[in-house]
């Protein structure tokens, strides 16, 4: 029996020795043995949770990771652990720097502020290998008990989702969530919110202030007294001969001029006395002023406007401001909705400030990410970055991707407050990415400039888009994010980062062409490789090796592939070493081997895509910085204006007069000769500009109608003083030349040869005046008549009535005659094959190459394609929205035809094709790899029709030349 126990003891000793040898070999591989241990850092100062800068201080690393192992081995491992990236085993890898190994460590304030170039290169490689981007953003702030309560209720879905606090405790139920909000806001604000709007009453005397005509006098007096302020007023005549004016105004005023200061009215005797003096100067010293009070923010403005209009039953006048602070005009407030809209419009001018109680922070992961591991990573990130602050978070999985909503109290236990800036957000992303990689989630904190992504939109933007009330700039911002449009930077910092990104992707392309890189390896893990034979089933005891080169050689011999698994220290210690090579080869259980993955390399297509996007961003920024060419009139192509030219020449002549007065007498003859030549050039230039403006078409109305913006897919509007300019919007989002200008009295058409610009300008004019009075050249008027007949516009010119009637009758005849072809399809001519005998009529027909369709038939077919494209865009957009809402996949079968699977990229391509042909059916649809088969067919049909149209034009041109020779 003693011999039996001795044998078992020897066997146990041999197994422990092989186990310890395997662990030591792993430590040698990662560089843990042979390095002198660094002394422990001792914090001499007392531990505090905040920092003097007011920024969130990073604390110690919370205990995370895998389950416990043997205590001695765990201590040794923690002492010698070393972060590594792609390159487990024999693979090629790039090592990380110390700042990434210890993100956000205490005492290392610059851990994330200046990321080394090598780290950026490694991050690009890992992203190209499939790593996701770390997403951390501040969604909003909240102040006050009601807002904080609403935020945590949204975070917990009304108490349905439990909230986890900073100490690990859970809060469940609506009552518990409300108690948390009360606890965080019970102390009250340390600083009172600003007083942004005041309501007052004026009692003025004078007959010219009474009645309907007196409103203009009151408005003029308020403009004089309140420059730069937003205000609204309502007047009421009293029986004693006075006029009672209720006034709501912003306390802050815009700066008047570049050197002036931005003024503000405060709730004190001195400031209110100055306001009273200004009102007395405008309305007289007999004016009585009664201040009712101040209010805060947009809510207070809406409340005061509601009191002014008596709940929306009283009409009030409100003033608009230009960008320079001058008054632009007045509008009328009618109804409660108008009060709310006006209050929101005042928001920027209020310059409101309020103490923030909590910050709403969102952490997101890609679809398919392990939710449990992501929650652990987020928990560690919050504990590290917001040590000393109270916070609560919850996981939301109601969308395609997992995301965590965290609410962090701004004030720490030490009294310090958060003041997050851009470097702080970057550090938070770095910390989240580090903690995610610790849990085998490939994640990198890569800037959006690396992928040329546009800036994100806010939650309020998408809600405005869904309600259909979003302005053009908001819709363009949302569409850019959804369509992954290339962001062209404007600021110098953005241009530099875009250039650095382009250079970085070029380096990645060069590196991957020379060497093979692997996906990221989590800290402490070991990568094992296996050569899989093609078509062979997994054995009951599969062998894996650390040596990647050996696995690659075997895979080449057998014609198979290489796969890998990443094992933790606990898993590695439980593996059985192989008899042939106990240090490098291990027997893995079939259950663990089933989780192996193919050895994916950085995808060349992904690298090329990112490099192409970076190139387009850099080139777009360079083109935008290049000034537009100057024409012979001395102005930019889209700013030719006779009035501006004359004013410029008058200023030049004034300056020459001043020079002449101070010039010596002997130099006067020389100056006179120069002026004579200059005046001749000015006359020629003015004559040329007058000729240009005579040819420029315009649409005039019978009265002035204040210009307002209209939404056209291919044009962008811009307010310039009292006018609105519409410029061409190209496919690359570049703004082109001015197409037409709405001046209020008339619509001036700059690009009168462009059918799209003409049609858009006529739509604006028809909405303003109904019937159109056109002026311009005969060619311009002919195009107006053609568009009016096609779209039903009314023309007021007497000399154009006969042409309009004739064109309308021609289109009606074309509409009633059977076209003899299917809309959108092309009839191909019969081409005789070799040896075929043609009928007698065919040779004559072949002698004259006459198109099979007339120009009218082609125009009708193009219009049919336009309608079909619009219908297809609507259908695909509806299908894409349904697929997004139902989380439908391509392999789901797609359901019915109305709810077939459709990606947002396909729907976006269909909408872009619709925008191309919306105003001009002859404009070719843009080529797009995301187009569906139906849109591609429509594009091909349109191309064939346009080719036939060009052939007709070529034949007509040849006939014209032939007639001229005769």
Q: pLDDT tens, 346-355?
A: 888 888 877 7
Question: What does the pLDDT average to over 360-377?
Answer: 88
Given a contact cutoff of 8 angstroms between Cβ atoms, the answer to whether 382 and 166 are in contact is yes
Q: In the prediction, which pLDDT does 676 show? A: 82
- Interior angle at CA 233, CA 231 and CA 239, nearest 5: 155
- 669-688, pLDDT tens digit by residue? 877 887 888 888 778 777 77
Cα–Cα distance, 378 to 384 (Å, whole number): 10
Q: Domain-by-domain residue ranges, the chain?
A: 132-190+355-441, 197-350, 627-678, 855-965
Cα–Cα distance, 734 to 850 (Å, whole number): 41
Domain 132-190+355-441 CATH assignment equals 3.30.930.30? yes
Confidence bin at 314 (pLDDT 50/70/90): confident
Q: Is the dihedral of CA 861, 866, 870, 876 positive or negative?
A: positive
Confidence bin at 45 (pLDDT 50/70/90): very low
E strand or H helix at 407, and its extent? strand 403-409
Given a contact cutoff of 8 angstroms between Cβ atoms, the answer to whether 429 and 362 are in contact is no
Task: Look at strands 443-444 and 132-133 and give their pairing.
Answer: parallel
What DSSP character marks residue 665?
G
Q: Is the dihedral of CA 152, 156, 157, 158 positive or negative?
A: negative
Question: What does the pLDDT average to over 557-581?
Answer: 82
Given a contact cutoff of 8 angstroms between Cβ atoms, the answer to whether 265 and 278 are in contact is no
Q: Return the percentage of the chain with pLDDT > 70, whole number.
A: 73
**What are 886-889's contacts with CB under 8 Å, separation 24+?**
887/400
What average pLDDT does the structure give for the chain?
74
What counts of helices (H) and strands (E) characterise the chain? Answer: 29, 27
Q: Return the percentage of the chain with pLDDT > 90, whole number.
A: 7
In this predicted structure, which of 36-50, 378-392, 634-648, 937-951 has the lowest mean pLDDT?
A: 36-50
Query: Between 904-918 and 855-886, two packed helices, what is the crossing angle to 10 degrees?
Result: 150
Residue-by-residue DSSP string for 482-535: HTTPPP---SHHHHHHHHHHHHHHHHHHHHHHHS-B-----TT-EEEEEEEPTT
Backbone angles phi, psi at 457, to 5 degrees: -100, 165
Cα–Cα distance, 68 to 573 (Å, whole number): 12
- Interior angle at CA 598, CA 594 and CA 599, nearest 5: 135
Closest CA to 302 of 232, 200, 225, 236: 232
Question: What does the pLDDT average to over 375-398?
Answer: 91
- Interior angle at CA 529, CA 119 and CA 19, nearest 5: 100
Confidence bin at 823 (pLDDT 50/70/90): very low
Residues in contact with 606: Cβ distance below 8 Å, sequence separation at least 6, in sequence order: 127, 128
- Is pLDDT larger for residue 847 or for residue 371? 371
Cα dist from 3 to 6, 7, 8, 9, 865, whole Å: 5, 6, 9, 10, 94
Given a contact cutoff of 8 angstroms between Cβ atoms, the answer to whether 566 and 591 are in contact is no
Cα–Cα distance, 299 to 291 (Å, whole number): 19
Beta carbons within 10 angstroms of residue 667's beta carbon: 11
Cα–Cα distance, 82 to 161 (Å, whole number): 38
Cα dist from 880 to 134, 402, 873, 898, 903, whole Å: 26, 21, 10, 11, 5
State pTM to two decimals.
0.47
3-state secondary structure of 611: helix
- Is pLDDT larger for residue 822 or for residue 941? 941
Query: Between 492-514 and 117-128, two packed helices, what is the crossing angle to 10 degrees?
Result: 60
Cα dist from 772 to 449, 761, 776, 781, 785, whole Å: 49, 11, 13, 11, 11
Q: In the prediction, which pLDDT does 792 show? A: 83
- Is pLDDT larger for residue 823 or for residue 478? 478
Question: What does the pLDDT average to over 326-333?
Answer: 82
Confidence bin at 799 (pLDDT 50/70/90): confident
Answer yes or no: is pLDDT of 452 > 80: yes
């Amino acid at each position: 029996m003693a011999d039996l126990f001795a044998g078992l003891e020897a066997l146990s000793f041999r197994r422990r020795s092989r186990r310890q040898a395997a662990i030591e070999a792993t430590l040698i591989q990662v560089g843990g043995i042979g390095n002198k241990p660094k002394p422990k850092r001792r914090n001499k100062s007392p531990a505090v949770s905040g920092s003097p800068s007011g920024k969130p201080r990073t604390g110690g690393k919370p205990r995370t990771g895998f389950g416990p192992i043997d205590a001695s081995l765990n201590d040794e491992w923690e002492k010698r652990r070393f972060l590594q990236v792609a390159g487990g085993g024999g693979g090629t890898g790039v090592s990380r720097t110390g700042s990434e190994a210890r993100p956000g460590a205490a005492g290392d304030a610059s851990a994330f502020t200046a990321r080394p170039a090598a780290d950026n290169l490694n991050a690009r490689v890992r992203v190209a290998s499939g790593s996701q981007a770390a997403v951390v953003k501040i969604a909003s702030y909240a102040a006050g008990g009601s807002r904080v309560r609403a935020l945590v209720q949204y975070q917990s879905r009304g108490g349905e989702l439990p909230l986890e606090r900073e100490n690990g405790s859970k809060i469940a139920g609506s009552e518990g969530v409300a108690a948390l909000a009360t606890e965080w806001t019970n102390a009250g604000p340390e600083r009172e919110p600003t007083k942004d709007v005041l309501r007052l009453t004026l009692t003025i005397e004078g007959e010219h202030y009474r009645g309907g005509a007196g409103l203009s006098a009151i408005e003029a007096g308020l403009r004089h007294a309140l420059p730069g302020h937003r205000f609204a007023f309502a007047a009421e005549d009293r029986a004693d001969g006075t006029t009672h004016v209720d006034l709501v105004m912003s306390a802050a005023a815009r700066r008047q001029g570049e050197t002036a200061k931005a003024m503000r009215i405060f709730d004190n005797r001195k400031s209110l006395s100055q306001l009273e003096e200004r009102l007395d100067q405008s309305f007289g010293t007999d004016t009585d002023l009664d201040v009712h009070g101040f209010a805060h923010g947009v809510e207070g403005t809406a409340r005061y406007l509601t009191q002014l209009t008596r709940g929306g039953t009283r009409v009030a006048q409100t003033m608009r401001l230009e960008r320079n602070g001058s008054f632009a005009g007045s509008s009328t407030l009618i109804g409660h909705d108008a009060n709310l809209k006006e209050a929101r419009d005042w928001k920027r001018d209020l310059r409101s400030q309020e103490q923030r109680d909590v910050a709403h922070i969102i952490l997101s992961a890609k679809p398919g990410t392990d939710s449990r591991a992501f929650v652990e990573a987020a928990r560690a990130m919050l504990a590290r970055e917001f040590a000393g602050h109270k916070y609560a978070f919850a996981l939301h999985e109601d969308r395609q991707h997992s995301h965590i909503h965290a609410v962090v109290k701004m004030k720490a236990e030490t009294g310090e407050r958060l003041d997050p800036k851009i470097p702080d957000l970057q550090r938070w992303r770095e910390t989240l990415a580090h903690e995610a990689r610790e849990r085998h989630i490939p994640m990198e904190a890569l800037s959006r400039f690396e992928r040329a992504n546009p800036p994100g939109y806010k939650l309020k933007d998408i809600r405005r888009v869904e309600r259909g009330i979003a302005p053009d700039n908001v819709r363009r911002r949302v569409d850019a994010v959804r369509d992954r449009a290339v962001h062209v930077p404007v600021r110098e910092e953005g241009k530099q980062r875009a250039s650095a990104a382009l250079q970085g992707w070029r380096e990645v392309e060069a590196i991957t062409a020379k060497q093979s890189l692997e996906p990221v390896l989590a800290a402490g893990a070991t990568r094992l490789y296996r050569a899989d034979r093609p078509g062979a089933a997994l054995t009951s005891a599969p062998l894996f090796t650390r040596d990647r080169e050996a696995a690659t050689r075997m895979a080449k011999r057998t014609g198979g592939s290489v796969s890998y698994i990443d094992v933790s220290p606990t898993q590695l210690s439980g593996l059985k070493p192989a008899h042939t090579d106990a240090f490098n080869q291990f027997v893995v259980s079939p259950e663990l081997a089933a989780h192996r993955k193919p050895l994916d390399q950085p995808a060349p297509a992904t690298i090329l895509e990112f490099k192409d996007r970076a190139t387009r961003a850099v080139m777009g920024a360079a083109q935008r910085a290049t000034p537009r060419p100057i024409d012979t009139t001395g102005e930019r192509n889209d700013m030719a204006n006779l009035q501006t030219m004359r004013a410029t020449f008058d200023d030049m002549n004034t300056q020459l007069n001043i020079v002449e007065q101070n010039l010596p007498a002997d130099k006067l003859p020389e100056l006179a000769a120069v002026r004579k030549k200059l005046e001749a050039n000015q006359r020629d230039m003015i004559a040329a500009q007058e000729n240009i403006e005579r040819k420029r078409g315009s649409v005039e109305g019978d009265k002035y109608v204040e210009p307002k913006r209209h939404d056209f897919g291919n044009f962008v509007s811009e307010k310039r003083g009292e006018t609105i300019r519409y410029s061409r919007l190209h496919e690359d989002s570049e703004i082109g030349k001015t197409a037409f200008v709405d001046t209020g009295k008339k619509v001036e058409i700059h690009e009168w040869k462009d059918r799209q610009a003409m049609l858009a300008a006529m739509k604006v004019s028809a909405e303003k005046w109904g019937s159109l009075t056109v002026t311009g050249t005969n060619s311009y008027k002919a195009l107006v008549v053609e568009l009016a007949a096609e779209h039903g516009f009314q023309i007021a010119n007497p000399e154009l009535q006969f042409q309009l009637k004739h064109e309308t009758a021609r289109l009606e005849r074309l509409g009633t005659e059977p076209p003899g072809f299917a809309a959108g399809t092309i009839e191909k001519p019969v081409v005789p094959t070799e040896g075929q005998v043609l009928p007698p009529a065919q040779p004559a027909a072949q002698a004259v190459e006459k198109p099979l369709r007339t120009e009218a038939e082609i125009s009708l077919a193009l219009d049919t394609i336009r309608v079909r494209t619009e219908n297809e865009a609507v259908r695909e957009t509806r299908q894409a929205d349904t697929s997004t809402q139902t989380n439908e996949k391509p392999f789901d079968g797609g359901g019915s035809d109305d709810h077939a699977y459709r990606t947002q990229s396909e729907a976006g391509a269909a909408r872009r094709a619709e925008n191309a042909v919306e105003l001009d059916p002859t404009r070719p649809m843009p080529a797009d790899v995301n187009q569906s088969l139906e849109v591609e067919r429509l594009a091909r049909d349109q191309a064939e029709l346009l080719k036939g149209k060009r052939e007709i034009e070529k034949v007509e041109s040849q006939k014209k030349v032939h007639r001229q020779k005769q």
